[in-house]
Chains A and B, each alone.
Chain A
Amino acid sequence: MNRPKKPEPKAQLMQGNEACAEGALLAGCRFFAGYPITPASEIAEHLSYRLPQVDGTFIQMEDEIASMGAVIGGSLAGVKSMTATSGPGFSLMQENLGFACMAEVPCVVVNVMRGGPSTGLPTNPSQGDVMQARWGTHGDHPIIVLSPSSVLECFTLTVKAFNYSEKYRTPVIFLMDEVVAHMREKVVLPEPSEVTVIDRVKPSVPPEWYLPYEDTSFGVPPMGIFGEGYRYHVTGLVHDIRGFPTLRQDEIEPFLLRLFRKISIHFADIQLVESFHTEDADLVIVAYGCTFRSAHRAMVEGRARGLKVGLLKLITLWPFPRRVVEPLTRAKKTLLVPEMNMGQISREVKRVNQGMTTVLAVNKIDGTMITPQEILEKIEEEKK
């Protein structure tokens, strides 16, 4: 008797934006507020269809400023929340994004990068918002930025983005690009049981003892939820440990330093990278997002031609994974940074490098992807 075989993992054809939306649902996102924009609209469309099925809420707001405000409100009321946009909308979100940093409200902001500045190139890819994701809102503050390079990563990293936001009570920027967002490729999504989902820590002390912004050894205070008995004040002003506005020097600096410390003591957990053949390589390509795909091809073809090429994929862009890049510079490996901007990450690599080795860049801002050939040409030029 022929026994039916164990079913193969279900492969499907999926778009990056859809995968991101499904990843959000698996991470427990039950609130989405957004505004239509190319090339991010599919995330909103998919969630407007899926969220009401799972008792979640989708709302299309009047603009991106309102979307970001609603997302923060939803998160404060205890629901994991997300919005998705592209460059022009991301610029509008900066105001309330800063609020989320200041008031330590977990949320995920997807920015599908398109060509800029201004209205720019709505349907063309770019990686021009890397620095905006880091420094877009005013004031000095840390932030976490993740960048996917495949449809599967759109799914898995969205879950990670939610996990980081909940764990560290911070907004997380999910920096996609038009290629990854609109690309359809074969994916086998992990089973829900295989995925770790982290929820925010809530206070366990009696409400009258609760200090909403008190420092902890982990750097992140437990988060009270509106309507659950922990009445406290949430503000975008610099506040004391009780949440009330303060102008005292001995309260301002410790608070702001804690915002940095809660991220910096967890660098090892946050800074995600993937290395390919970096040990024996004398030239290492440092790439992220859709450019990683070309870089990977260039590495494979370069190796076939006998060139010792390695590849470092940056998944976490901010905080910049210095602890991974620095050993490469110390080992005197030549670094090559291809990216679709005029050098936003290559400048960061040069900062880490401090003149120890050669850092090359391939920059392209004509609204098309960098090809493997362009990277290979640069490598061969260097090897001559």
Chain B
Amino acid sequence: MIEDRPLIYKYLRHDKKFPHVWCGGCGIGILLGSLIRAIDHLGYAKDEVVLVSGIGCSGRLPVYVDFNTLHTTHGRALTFATGVKLAKPELKVIIIMGDGDATAIGGNHFIHAARRNLDLTAIIVNNNIYGMTGGQYSPTTPYGQRATTAVYGSVEHSFNIAQLAVCAGAVFAARGTVYHVRQLDGLIEKALLKNGFSVVEVISQCHTHYGRLNKLGNQIEMMKQQRDSAVPVEKARKMSPEEMEGKFEIGILVDREAPSYLEQYNKVRQKAKNALSLQLTKEEKEESERREALDKQ
């Protein structure tokens, strides 16, 4: 992608913090490319973008990008982002999380952020495993699949992250893969434009751990599997659960309108100020009455 060269110089901390920590062939780099193209296309100034991450492979992403970047504690990225957005609503706050980060340790924050509908964009890289710590099973490791803490196969059932976001009340929820990269560019752009809590789940590959432990081949073969198991949302709706077995839908799962938290809270501020001004006039009234009484004396 030769046209991306100027973008690299514009958005990456290319002269400061490279090489990066990710394995060759990791999907996070592809996602980072999509994110940068989406931000560039929307014309956001670098100063107004805040990129917040948690812990894990995805947590390292903000280091490499020339925005206001915040690398928080494990699972808590959304809580820090909530504070940033409420304190400075004009900032565009984007949160990058992993599957374990967002739905295990940060699961409670995730559903409540969706319910609260603050104008944030959460991008969740789902590679079905904890990569940075060495391949332990995560809430999205499919039943029966192996991990270093599930050497006999996982006996837990996995989360469907995008559906979880829909159920928790996100106004925009989409799923893409790092294979369908052009679609991913568009999904992230739409999510950024959405007023309210938007979620993009990005299916990615961890060939180093998940692929190796489950004999799924190298990164290229794993990306081909993404191509083969992804079904567009419209087509998936017509398919039976049996036909969807082992497959997942990609595209926009939900896109609805609802007033954002800040719109609602601004009403609260207005109410509070109205009450205050009423209160003041009452006090002022009493003061003037007191003065009149003094004059009469």
Contacts and interface: CB of A to CB of B under 8 A. Distances in A.
A229 B112 contact: no
A232 B63 CA distance: 9
Contact size range, A: 35 or more
Contacts of A99: 72-73
A242 B15 CA distance: 13
A96 B73 contact: yes
B10 to A, nearest CB: 13
B70 A234 contact: yes
Contact of B71 (A67, A74, A233): A233
- Per CB-CB distance, the 10 closest pairs between chain A and chain B, nearest first, are A73-B83, A69-B79, A70-B83, A52-B272, A77-B87, A74-B83, A235-B71, A79-B87, A74-B87, A73-B80
Interface in A178-210: none
B76 A227 contact: no
A62 interface: yes
Contacts of B84: 73-74, 76-77, 226
Contacts of A49: 272
Contacts of B85: 73
A237 B71 contact: yes
B188 to A, nearest CB: 20
Nearest to A95: B73
- Tier of interface size on chain B: 35 or more
21 contacts: A4-B294, A33-B83, A49-B272, A61-B79, A65-B79, A66-B79, A66-B109, A69-B73, A69-B78, A69-B109, A70-B83, A72-B72, A73-B81, A73-B83, A74-B87, A77-B91, A78-B88, A95-B73, A226-B88, A233-B70, A233-B71
Contact of B83 (A31, A53, A62, A234): A31
Interface string B97-115: 0000000000011001000
A75 interface: yes
A361 interface: no
Given A33-B83, A74-B87, A227-B47, A62 B71 contact: no
A4 B47 CA distance: 57
Nearest to B82: A70
Nearest to B52: A73
Contacts of B156: none
Contacts of A59: 82, 86
Interface in A193-250: 226-229, 231-237, 242, 244-245
Interface of B: 16-17, 46-48, 50, 52, 62-63, 66-73, 76, 78-88, 90-91, 108-109, 112, 265, 268-269, 271-273, 275-276, 294, 297
Nearest to A233: B69
Interface of A: 2, 4, 30-31, 33, 49, 52-53, 55, 57, 59, 61-63, 65-79, 81, 95-96, 99, 226-229, 231-237, 242, 244-245
Contacts, number: 149
Nearest to A51: B272
Given A52-B272, A96-B76, A235-B71, A69 B294 contact: no
Contacts of B91: 77, 226-227
B281 to A, nearest CB: 15
Contacts of A72: 72, 80, 83
Given A4-B294, A96-B76, A75 B68 contact: no
Contacts of B72: 69, 72, 96, 99, 236
A354 to B, nearest CB: 39
B86 A31 contact: yes
Given A99-B72, A226-B91, A245-B71, 17 more contacts: A31-B83, A52-B265, A52-B269, A52-B273, A57-B86, A62-B112, A65-B76, A69-B76, A69-B109, A73-B80, A74-B87, A76-B70, A77-B83, A227-B68, A231-B67, A235-B71, A236-B73
Given A4-B294, A233-B69, A71 B108 contact: no
Contacts of B276: 53
A75 B268 CA distance: 22
B58 to A, nearest CB: 14
Contact of B79 (A73, A234, A245): A73
Contacts of B109: 62, 65-66, 69
A135 B16 CA distance: 35
A237 B84 CA distance: 20
A231 B63 contact: no
Nearest to B290: A4
A67 to B, nearest CB: 8
B46 A231 contact: yes
B35 to A, nearest CB: 16
Contacts of A77: 50, 83-84, 87-88, 91
Contacts of A81: 83, 87
A78 to B, nearest CB: 7
Contacts of A33: 82-83
B121 to A, nearest CB: 15
A227 B68 CA distance: 7
